[in-house]
Chains A and B, each alone.
Chain A
């Protein structure tokens, strides 16, 4: 019996080993390489996607547990050719360095801002605990997030 789920708005059915990490399904079967395979143990955040509206590491989600779930990757976050407010803020603040961590950062911060529209600096830092940037560009990332708070720049 195939595993059926929604991926970036499209219904898909997968007849594969249920223990396969979602990350590998995204990258190897669907060419969605925005989620990065880095630590594979949930610590780096580079593979973060949205599952049923929550930002979670796709490396730790076996496909067999995702029956009926709604999966959104960074490629499906907005319509093609458009950016969401987090992506736009990253460009506006010249945040991006090597880019390895940024899809995960975008996915984490998008849901974070949905639930916490007016965060302070510490709250942004706490939200990013599971997203590691080895270029250590954290402060500008946080500045970018604070610039798009619903109450504006601090």
Chain B
């Protein structure tokens, strides 16, 4: 179904195959549209050809099972935060979904939108998804494609309709710490998301993801290596992060200069560790 108006064009595919074909023809999928509608404020043109995903059941899934969690691209932050409440291994993702932006935006902004908006450096969900080690499932012209989150981010913009992410459940503990310039409501200038396998007070395995500092969120692998096998100690983690924070080339932007993002990163790591320790 296509609605042709006097200006832009919006397509509403009924199947994933139709959606993939529409993308090949230049249509841009929109989910919550919270990033898209701010294009004029960024002095960017809005795409002429849009694609609504509201009729695709494949992007609506929200199933938090004991072995596996499946989260569709059209799931909103608000719905996700509610569904993940009380799940220790997904607590970081729950906090990311429940603390991002403000309540009104959380009711419309989606997981797929956060993943697809390559220019949005301060997404809360992206580092949380990296720390949760999710797999992104995309529909392409040659079938379904499953990608680890880091690989997905590296190839973002290369085509493919984001259908869902899948997460293997575990006994890990997770946390998400963010620093907006006000207490809440706006973008964070730095984000740390952590997922750790802790046994007897010792970190057996850990994933640390950093968002909003560089243009794209990424894992802090060198710090993960340094902390694996050590005690779960927030102060020690902060000190290690401070020594290693020059691993990042922090971006300067209107909300904060790069040096400030780096200076708060160790504190956010300590806060995330403190949450996990509790």
Contacts and interface: CB of A to CB of B under 8 A. Distances in A.
B108 A64 contact: no
B104 A55 contact: yes
Interface in B86-145: 101-105, 107-108
Contacts of B36: 19, 62
Contacts of A132: 185
Most buried by B among A16, A18, A108: A18
B3 interface: yes
A45 B101 CA distance: 12
B102 A19 contact: no
A15 B52 contact: no
A64 B101 contact: no
Interface residues of A, number: 32
Nearest to B53: A65
A48 interface: yes
| Contact size range, B | 20 to 34
B6 A1 contact: no
A19 B9 CA distance: 9
A128 to B, nearest CB: 8
Interface string B9-36: 1101000000000000000001011101
Contacts, number: 102
Contact of A64 (B10, B32, B38): B10
A41 to B, nearest CB: 5
Nearest to A128: B103
Given A1-B3, A130-B185, A43 B8 contact: no
Contact of A57 (B50, B52, B105): B105
A56 B10 contact: no
B112 to A, nearest CB: 14
Most buried by B among A21, A67, A126: A67
Given A16-B6, A18-B9, A56 B30 contact: no
Contacts of B168: none
B97 to A, nearest CB: 15
Interface in A79-127: 108, 126-127
18 contacts: A3-B3, A21-B37, A40-B38, A40-B41, A42-B104, A42-B105, A43-B101, A54-B107, A55-B104, A55-B107, A57-B104, A60-B32, A61-B37, A62-B30, A64-B50, A65-B30, A130-B105, A132-B185
Given A3-B3, A42-B38, A60-B33, 14 more contacts: A1-B2, A15-B6, A17-B8, A18-B9, A21-B37, A42-B102, A48-B104, A60-B32, A64-B10, A126-B103, A126-B184, A127-B103, A129-B103, A130-B101
Interface of B: 1-10, 12, 30, 32-34, 36-38, 41, 46, 50, 52, 54, 101-105, 107-108, 184-186
